[in-house]
Amino acid sequence: MVQKSKPPAVASEPERRGGPKRRGRPRAYEPEVALGKALDLFRKQGFAATSLDDLSEATGMNRPSLYGAFGDKRELYIKSYQRYREEARASMAEIFREDMPVRQRLERIFASALNIYLSGETGPRGCFTVVTAASEAVGDPEIRAMVLDGLTELDKAFASCFRRAKEKGELPESADPVVLAQLASATVHSIAIRSRARVSRKELEAIVKGAIDVMLGAKQ
- Give the footprint of DNA on this chain (CB under 7 A): 1, 5-7, 20-29, 50-54, 61-65, 67-69, 72-74
Residue number with CB closer to a second copy (2 or 179)? 179
Question: Is residue 127 left, alpha or beta, with left meaning phi > 0 and alpha meaning psi from -120 to 50?
Answer: beta
Residues 196-215 as x/- pattern, contact with a second copy by CB under 8 A: xxxx-------x--xx-xxx
How many C-beta atoms surround the C-beta of residue 149 within 10 A? 12
Smallest separation (angstroms) from DNA to the CB of 138: 17
* Residue 194 interacting entry, from DNA, a second copy, none, C-beta within 5 to 8 Å by type: a second copy
**What 8-state DSSP symbol labels residue 30?**
-
73 binds, among DNA, a second copy, none (CB under 5 to 8 A by kind): DNA
- The nearer residue to a second copy, 70 or 150, going by C-beta atoms, is 150
CA–CA distance, 156 with 21 (Å, rounded to integer): 42
| Closest CB to a second copy among residues 65, 214 | 214
Binding mask 6-45 for a second copy (x = CB under 8 A): --------------------------------------xx
Separation of alpha carbons 166 and 175, rounded Å:
8
Q: Does 166 bind a second copy (CB under 8 A)?
A: no
Residue type, 77: Y
Contact predicate 127/147, CB 8 Å = no
Q: Which amino acid is at 149?
A: D
d(CA 191, CA 79): 25
Residue 52 binds a second copy (CB under 8 A):
no
Query: Minimum Å distance from CB 214 to a second copy?
Result: 6
For a second copy (CB under 8 A), the number of binding residues is 52
Is residue 59 classed exposed, middle or buried when 0-12, 13-18 and 19+ CB atoms within 10 A define those classes?
Answer: buried
